[in-house]
Structure 1
Amino acid sequence: MKTLLYVVVASLFVSACVPPAYCSKKPVGKARREDIPYIKCQVCEKLAKQLYHQVQKKQAEIAPKKISEYQIIEIAENVCNLKKAEGDWILQIDIVENEDRLELVEQDSEGQCNSECKTIEQACQEVIGYSDTDVAEYLYKSKPDIDSLLKYFCKDLTEACSTKPPPVPKDRAPGEPFVPKSAKEAEMDRLLKSMEGMPGAPGMKMYSREDLMNMNNFGEGGDDEDEEEDDEAGFPSKLGKVLREKESGSDWKQKLRKGISDGAMTLKKHANRVSNQLRQWWRGKKAGTTKKGQKTGKSEL
């Protein structure tokens, strides 16, 4: 019951302390599904290379231990998901019109995610489909080189490159230009992504990078008679202050995580207080019911 109360209180706190204007995010472009047939094979080839390199990277990180099949499956499940770190490669791809073809051109840095980014993600998900465990098993057991993986994955398993892509219609509307992120923006997005699902950060998904950086009241707090309410109200403000302190060279990542941890402790205290009040109320009600039953029994005698 205490866990349930904690979740409820956390949800109420997040919704109460963040003004509605701060929860709004920039509109995200939608995938252009009609473009997928023109880029499907290229997406498959880049996806296969990502699977190969990410498995190699994971193996190097955990050496001398050997990578497990489960770890490879986890990579395969996340590699087409922009919400996961394994899907960050999609942000570096630009769709370029070249006569009657669409080409995927890799850029030097990550770009803002628009409809092209979403289209590549959608194409990637369609390519891998339910084959994530199959390709993971192949990588684990066969340990192929990159050329063998490309052939197996894009021609044999998914057949994404079994036929030539159709020509692009002449009246196709051109896509958006590639807009690179600054190094600071990319780092901020990776940090927010890494904190999704983190205990003590129940409402981080409500904040975009722009929300956190642009809140005017970050770091500002008023006097309040209730100290715990001050802590709760100041939680998002502390986050914004920490984010801005990056410019001064402070360890902002550590401070940000500490701010989240402190906020979690405040929420836990509040949940415990509510839980105690409910227990006392229930005991009083139960005691009253027992006394009433005893009086009824005596009157019947």
Structure 2
Amino acid sequence: MAMARFLGLGFLFVFAVIAGQAMAAPKKPIAVARREDIPYIKCGVCEQIVKQLDRQVTSIRNQIAPKRLSEYQIIEVAENICNLKKEEGDWLLHLDIVEDGDKLKLVEQEQEGDCNAECKTIERTCQEVIGYHDTDVAEFLFKSEPQSSSLLKFLCNDLSRACSVKPPPVPKDRTPGEPFVPKSSKEAEMEKIMRSMSGMPGASNMKMYSKDDLMNMPNFGSNGEDEDDEEDEDDDYTSSRMRNTKRPLVSVESDWKKSLLDRVQSTFSNVKDRTQHAVLGAKWSLDRISDKIRKWYKGRKSSSKPSKSQKVEL
């Protein structure tokens, strides 16, 4: 118990140091979407959206079988499919924009890559393609359970018209995009953990720093010159306790962190699911009510107009 308390205080101290130095850490330039590239990749992005919708909806359907997939669950996928901050948008990190003659094509990569200008461009294109059609697509998937070809025609030709027109040729003087830089598996996993905690109170400003970033922070890792005797005694006592501990410190610390993260993720996941289902349910109900009011108003408006026979009699 004492060891766990000591490790907890140590972890909080390190976190406080990182938070205190965050303002002084060098900031990376913010990536911005290249809007001029959107017309050249719009159809390709739409095809990827269809592929991901089909894959993710099928995956959820298989997970909950023999239960039937609800329309709320499909709406959730459709709403988040173009959002890099959501799990449904992870596929955006696997795409690279490559020049192919006078065209731009999307190439899938096995690993996730750093999200720079190209990644933001694909996300922006995805958002423009699906636009306000997410509920229409979700309803189509729920009622029809269509094949990929039918969904492709419905979204890319009928709704968004992203593939109804041939993309223009890419200008010869176009500035090439940045190269695809894959992430390490550890970095990708940590980003997912941080993203899952982003909705928690007080965690919105949390950031993850690499070892190089931490070492570049001013005063990080430096020891104070003045230490009193009481602190020395505490250090000696702590060191002796650690030497007498049979279990390695790293193992205890990793177990403690893993247990904490598991509990946080489990709690946050439950709250997130309930909240999102409630919001989606309310939105679905409002959409249905709006449709009924619109139809009622149109019917009333048409019935209030006098017919030709009535005009003649008058």
Give the TM-score taking structure 1 as reference length. Answer: 0.66
| SS of structure 2 residue aligned to 1:130 | coil
| SS of structure 2 residue aligned to 1:19 | helix
Q: How high is the sequence identity, in percent, across the aligned residues? A: 58
Q: Does the Cα contact within 8 Å between 1:189 and 1:209 map onto a contact in 2?
A: no
State how far apart, in whole Å, the 1-side matches of 2:20 and 2:131 are.
Answer: 38
Indicate the residue corresponding to 2:261 in structure 1. Answer: 257
| SS of structure 2 residue aligned to 1:178 | coil
Q: Give the direction of change, closer, same or farther, for the CA distance of 1:177–1:140 in structure 2 (3 Å limit).
A: same
> C-alpha displacement at 1:58, in angstroms?
1.2
Q: Give the direction of change, closer, same or farther, for the CA distance of 1:23–1:56 in structure 2 (3 Å limit).
A: farther
Q: Give the direction of change, closer, same or farther, for the CA distance of 1:156–1:139 in structure 2 (3 Å limit).
A: same
Q: Does the Cα contact within 8 Å between 2:25 and 2:213 map onto a contact in 1?
A: no
Q: Could you say what the CA RMSD is over the residues aligned between the two structures, in angstroms?
A: 3.4
Q: Would you say 1:124 and 2:157 are equivalent positions? A: no
What amino acid is aligned across from residue 72 of structure 1 in structure 2? Answer: I
Q: Does the Cα contact within 8 Å between 1:188 and 1:209 map onto a contact in 2?
A: no
Q: Does the Cα contact within 8 Å between 1:23 and 1:211 map onto a contact in 2?
A: no
Q: Does the Cα contact within 8 Å between 1:31 and 1:118 map onto a contact in 2?
A: yes
State how far apart, in whole Å, the 2-side matches of 1:125 and 1:211 are.
Answer: 34
| SS of structure 1 residue aligned to 2:186 | helix
| 1:144-190 Cα deviation digits (max 9, x unpaired) | 01111111111111111000000000000000000000111111111
Q: Give the direction of change, closer, same or farther, for the CA distance of 1:141–1:213 in structure 2 (3 Å limit).
A: farther
Indicate the residue corresponding to 2:155 in structure 1. Answer: 153
What amino acid is aligned across from residue 257 of structure 1 in structure 2? Answer: L
| 1:30-80 Cα deviation digits (max 9, x unpaired) | 100000000000000000110111111111222222111111111111110
Q: Give the direction of change, closer, same or farther, for the CA distance of 1:211–1:131 in structure 2 (3 Å limit).
A: farther
Give the TM-score taking structure 2 as reference length. Answer: 0.63
What amino acid is aligned across from residue 56 of structure 1 in structure 2? Answer: T
What amino acid is aligned across from residue 149 of structure 2 in structure 1? Answer: D
Q: Does the Cα contact within 8 Å between 1:23 and 1:206 map onto a contact in 2?
A: no
> C-alpha displacement at 1:16, in angstroms?
11
Indicate the residue corresponding to 2:181 in structure 1. Answer: 179
What amino acid is aligned across from residue 127 of structure 2 in structure 1? Answer: Q
Q: Does the Cα contact within 8 Å between 1:93 and 1:107 map onto a contact in 2?
A: yes
> C-alpha displacement at 1:252, in angstroms?
6.9
> C-alpha displacement at 1:194, in angstroms?
1.2
Indicate the residue corresponding to 1:136 in structure 2. Answer: 138
1:102-251 matches, cutoff 5 A: 102-199=104-201, 202-210=202-210, 214=214, 250-251=254-255
The number of aligned residues is 225
Q: Give the direction of change, closer, same or farther, for the CA distance of 1:189–1:25 in structure 2 (3 Å limit).
A: farther
Q: Does the Cα contact within 8 Å between 1:100 and 1:170 map onto a contact in 2?
A: yes
Instruction: Specify every segment of 5 or more residues in structure 2 that has no aligned partner in the other structure, as ranges.
Output: 1-14, 229-249, 266-314
| SS of structure 1 residue aligned to 2:97 | strand
